[in-house]
């Protein structure tokens, strides 16, 4: 815990607890409602396997063929 003051000492600069960096907590969550919606939209259920979903999505992308020649 520390207190800071402005250079003139007239007004307090603030009070901090802990370090200056925010604590980041990373965790994976499973959201069944989102999975149900995704399954309804795609007709595919790959569960909560992120890698499988990425592979499936990549396989669905088809190159667009455009003929730019004039007749």
Per-residue pLDDT, 57: 93
Measured CA angle at 45 (ends 61, 48), to 5 deg: 95
pLDDT for residue 44 = 95
Which is nearest to 14 in space by CA: 27, 30, 3?
A: 3
Using alpha carbons only, give the angle 33, 44, 30 rounded to the nearest 5 degrees: 30
**How is residue 50 written in tokens?**
């992120």
Average of pLDDT values for 19-43? 92
What pLDDT does residue 45 have? 96
Give the total residue count for the chain: 71
- The pLDDT-based confidence of 20 (bands split at 50, 70, 90) is confident
CA distances, 45 to each of 13, 21, 34, 51, 71 (Å): 54, 40, 11, 13, 45
């Amino acid at each position: 815990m520390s207190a800071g003051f402005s250079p003139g000492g007239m007004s307090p600069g603030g009070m901090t607890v802990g370090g200056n960096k925010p604590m980041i907590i990373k965790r994976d969550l499973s959201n069944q409602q989102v999975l149900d919606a995704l399954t309804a939209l795609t007709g595919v259920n790959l569960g909560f396997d992120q890698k499988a979903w990425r592979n499936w999505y990549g396989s669905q992308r088809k190159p667009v063929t455009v003929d730019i020649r004039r007749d």
